[in-house]
Amino acid sequence: MEALKVGVIGATGYTGEELVRILCRHRQAKLSYVSGKEERTVRIQEIFPYLQGAVDLECRTFQFEEALGAADLFFLSLPHTVSMQVAPQFLAAGKKVVDVSADYRLKDTSVYEKFYKTAHRDTVNLGSAVYGLPEINRERIRSARLIANPGCYPTGAILALYPGVKAGLFDEQGIIIDAKSGVTGAGRKADKALNFSEVNESFKAYKLFEHQHVPEIDQELGAALGRPMSVTFVPHLLPLNRGILSTIYVRLRKDVTTDDLIKVYADAYRGEPFVKVRPGGALPELRHVAGTNFCDIGLRVNPGKKLAVIVAAIDNLVKGAAGQAVQNMNILSGYDEREGLWV
């Protein structure tokens, strides 16, 4: 089979770099175009020296016409608002797009406008974009031309809640998601608040009740439930590079034990290559998933309080971004879903 030619726009950022790394070991896709925003005359393996011997590509300053002829499928690892200017051009030219930004995730443009402080500029393609969470939308992903790759926090939170919400086990009004992310979650661009000396040896909550990932979680879980959802989401900044640990508190509607709840989740995710439900109430840690495309989930019930605690761990740059983007490409291209991602 002829290799699928793929391009990464935004290859010099954190998620773009991770995409390049994964695509270099992919046996069916061929990385044929990489670009950033800054003017550079440099090869990608000079920017990321560990790629020497794995790839030999000039890292261009992004120009649409030049990119167009170089690949069949494009990953957009771009800031939100930039993706929705670029994606329509590729789609109009018959290319497939996996957008890692938030631009095509929220179906309601007024919600997008509220949380991203700008009007949506591509409502035409928004309608046909498929939310790329394979464990929920695999069949729709197969025939998609535009994938809205999920956010990092939403990936962990939705996978942790979906089976219980769908089974009607949780009181959907009382869900509290207490999530902690490493610093790469904010991207490589300069930001004073993310300087080493600001983050190291500290730990803080931020954007209480107003984080842009809240509507994404509500949208996808609401669709599973069949009625509107409204979670409480409190993100924290961890003084480490990568990983998101979400500790989620839910009130139970029914009398279930830890073993019952684990069985619901194990059944829901049976056969899923990248979701692992921990047996016997064991809880995941970030080091168990760092550098992998796995989402590990642990569950415990406190029967006296009719309360369950769910802990989910992902790597924000892999299952939370680049790994999931490649998983989506694998599905829509008919490849083994695990190609390039195992383990």
Contacts with ligand NAP by CB under 6 A lie at 10-16, 36-38, 62, 77-80, 82, 100-102, 151-152, 184-185, 187-189, 316-317, 320-321
Residue 275 C-beta: closest distance to ligand NAP, Å: 18
Residue 318 C-beta: closest distance to ligand NAP, Å: 9
- The two tokens of residue 111 are 């919600």
Cβ within 8 Å of residue 184, ≥6 positions away: 14, 241, 242, 316, 317
Phi and psi at residue 114, to the nearest 5°: -65, -45
Strand partners, 97: 74, 146
Other CB atoms closer than 10 Å to residue 94's CB: what's the count? 9
Q: Which residue is nearest to ligand NAP (CB)?
A: 13
- The two tokens of residue 337 are 């879903």
Strands (E), the chain: 4-9, 29-36, 42-43, 58-61, 73-76, 96-99, 130-131, 146-148, 176-181, 204-205, 232-237, 244-251, 275-277, 295-302, 307-314
Other CB atoms closer than 10 Å to residue 222's CB: what's the count? 17
Select 297 or 321, whichever has its Cβ closest to ligand NAP.
Answer: 321
Which are the catalytic amino acids?
152
Residue 147 C-beta: closest distance to ligand NAP, Å: 13
Residue 32 C-beta: closest distance to ligand NAP, Å: 17
Distance CA 312, CA 247 (A): 7
Select 152 or 250, whichever has its Cβ closest to ligand NAP.
Answer: 152
User: Side-chain half-sphere of 186: how many Cα atoms within 13 Å?
Assistant: 21
Select 138 or 188, whichever has its Cβ closest to ligand NAP.
Answer: 188
